[in-house]
Amino acid sequence: MKKIHSLTGMIDLLGQKDNESSQSDKIFNTEKSLIKIFKNYSLNEIRTPALEDEQLFNRSVGESSDIVNKELYSFQDKNEKTISLRPEGTAGVVRSIIEKKLENDFHRLWYLGPMWRYERPQKGRYRQFNQAGVELLGYKEGLAELEMISMVISINAELNIKNPKIKINHLGDNESKESFCNDLKTFLEPHAKNLDKRDVDRLNKNPLRVLDSKSMDTQKVLKSAPKISDYISQDSLNMLETVKETFPNENIEIDHSLVRGLDYYTGFIFEAVSEDLGAQDAYLGGGRYDQLFEELGGKKLPAIGMAIGIERLAEISKNTSSRQTLISFMILSDKIQQKAYKIAHDLRSLNKDIVFEVSLGEGSLKSKLRRANKDKASYAIILGDEELASETILLKSLQEDNSDQKKLTLNEIKKFISSI
């Protein structure tokens, strides 16, 4: 029969004990490291549904953005309601806080989960990918900006990212953003014939996006275009300097051409990039979205957030191994399976820091040992008829420099396991 394949741009993740540097294991370990950091920064977890009313994304991420315009996975459900697989996490979080009427309080939140965008798959770009995110809700511009950048620095350190660069910019308030966009449009329109075709389209829908163009022709025209730094207030420029001064040992660059692909950002924005990633060089990005609560029908609530691309972060992370001692428990005779399993169950409960694998499959001792070696187990515990009758077990070291094997009483093996 014809085989069924996974959908384009959607990958399966499968952990392998014997290969901690596999893409899947790096992704799982990256997620664990991030959760540890989120807890250290005193954040609470929020989990919202993967499916939302399509309107939520039209009104937040914005109809002029590529994400909504071209990449949204939208369907009619059985009730003919148009629903979308979420392309990002912030809109759902904001919807949830408004729905629960929790806008009167401060919230420090994190989330983790799959997102979907119908993009052209390439290196570092999938149609289903995982994002972790942080949202600090209720906090005005100031300390919250520093807290976000501090978190980015902690992520870089914990995951041992080589030569990370943090780019920051300020889009000003709504008024300065609008006046800059108007002037940019007026300036660019007469140059339309020299711009990339896609940028002409962006110019009409959201002129800010033109700044992000990868086209050399467009960048040439932009050289003499109005600059956002001439439109934003001195306070906004000071905010950028404050971030740089607070973290003097970090590679933080003020980049006035930095814009984000989602429409809801106003004020301070940032991105972390790594040369190791190639063309898709950003592995996290975020910024302030002080208007979004009102735009989604809630009360005014200042907020700042970021989203971290797990696949991209895992790819450049040099520190994702979380190896624990692995013990493989082998039962050699069918007749003693239940009694032997009971011993395994008791031993396993003695030490929560070890990985204890009971070899459940059939096969000879030789094949079980081969498997344990492949999985890089440190010890094998072997139990056959003879051992069970004399209430002993065989402990065999599988470490490279040590192949000792000894008979231990049940009490001795209990002590040994507890001591690892």
Binding region for ligand AMP (CB under 6 A): 88, 117, 119, 124-126, 129, 131, 260-261, 282-285, 307, 309, 311-312
Cβ burial of 116 (10 Å; 0-12, 13-18, 19+) is buried
What span, in angstroms and rounded, lies between the C-alpha atoms of 33 and 53? 32
Kindly tell me which of 292 and 377 has the beta carbon lying closer to ligand AMP. 292
At its nearest, how many Å lie between ligand AMP and the CB of residue 66?
A: 9
Cβ within 8 Å of residue 326, ≥6 positions away? 17, 354, 355, 357, 372, 375, 376, 377, 378
Closest distance to ligand AMP from the beta carbon of 44 (Å): 21
Q: Which is nearer to ligand AMP, 88 or 255 (CB)?
A: 88
CB of residue 160 to ligand AMP, shortest distance in Å: 17
At closest approach, how far in Å is the CB of 373 from ligand AMP? 36
Looking at the Cβ atoms of 57 and 416, the one nearer to ligand AMP is: 57
Q: What would you report as the CA-atom Rg of the chain, rounded to the nearest whole angstrom?
A: 27
Smallest gap from Cβ 117 to ligand AMP, in A, equals 5
Minimal distance in Å, beta carbon 309 to ligand AMP?
Answer: 2
Residue 118 or 341: the one with the smaller Cβ distance to ligand AMP is 118
Nearest in space to 156 (alpha carbons), one of 34, 38, 241: 34
Q: Is the Cβ of residue 60 or residue 328 nearer to ligand AMP in the bound state?
A: 60
- Closer CB to ligand AMP, 207 or 285, in the complex: 285
- Of residues 287 and 302, the one with the C-beta less far from ligand AMP: 287
Q: How far is the CB of 64 from ligand AMP (least distance, A)?
A: 14
61-64 — which CB contacts under 8 Å span 24+ positions? 61/87, 61/88, 61/91, 61/262, 61/263, 61/264, 62/206, 62/262, 62/263, 62/264, 63/205, 64/202, 64/205, 64/206, 64/209, 64/263
Q: Which residue is nearest to ligand AMP (CB)?
A: 309
- Residue 113 CB, shortest distance to ligand AMP, in Å, is 12
Q: Which is nearer to ligand AMP, 67 or 372 (CB)?
A: 67
CB of 287 to ligand AMP, least distance (A): 9
Q: Which is nearer to ligand AMP, 172 or 285 (CB)?
A: 285
